[in-house]
Structure 1
């Protein structure tokens, strides 16, 4: 029986944080695709129809920050789950699309994995 791994797109401009998250989630059994910014994330989402969750930093350079990216993703790809993170700003529920989750930095590895598993449980 072939089982499908949940696919997570990580959007993080800080290289070490991005690679650390990729490694943690890959080791936890997810398929992970990294992106440096919102523009790269949108290009990836346009090319890959199998992404289940976007995990985005809120404060990023480029045409969109993480909150704008979350809104864009929800409008264009409504089934995709969204987790936003930041160590500098706190996102309130009304700042994010309905059903999204805010995970403050620094987050613990176990919290990151549990959040991703919870949101992708029906994949």
Structure 2
């Protein structure tokens, strides 16, 4: 099954999303912030999708992380989420899902990407 990197600094949200994705059959790797996510992406070759919140502590937010993923790992799919900001621009071929979201909607959005079924 595809591997999803969930990047979320709020523990409860991160755990709920991870659990819903695992129940749907995805392998989940978690990161607390963008810096940790970059380290994971550099260390692993099996990440298919990054699901990231915009507002996070650290050296970059989720939008900057998404841009870095698009530049450095172009085949990796990206879904961006936020309950505070609706970005005016997101990287090419990325999706935005506003919070609060329903896990079923996230999974349906993920399945629109190639190789995510």
- Alignment coverage as a number of residue pairs: 117
**Which structure's CA Rg is the greater one?**
1
Correspondence for 1:9: 5
Alpha-carbon displacement from aligned partner over 1:1-56 (angstroms, at most 9, x marks no partner) = xxxx0110000000000000000000000010010000000000001101010000
Correspondence for 2:41: 45
Pairwise CA RMSD: 1.2
The answer for unaligned runs of 5 or more in structure 1 is none
* CA distance in structure 1 between the partners assigned to 2:32 and 2:2 by the alignment: 20
Q: Which one of the candidate residues 16, 21, 28 is aligned to 2:24?
A: 28
Correspondence for 1:112: 106
TM-score (normalised: structure 1): 0.91
> Runs of at least 4 residues of structure 1 off by over 4 A?
none
TM-score (normalised: structure 2): 0.96
The answer for unaligned runs of 5 or more in structure 2 is none
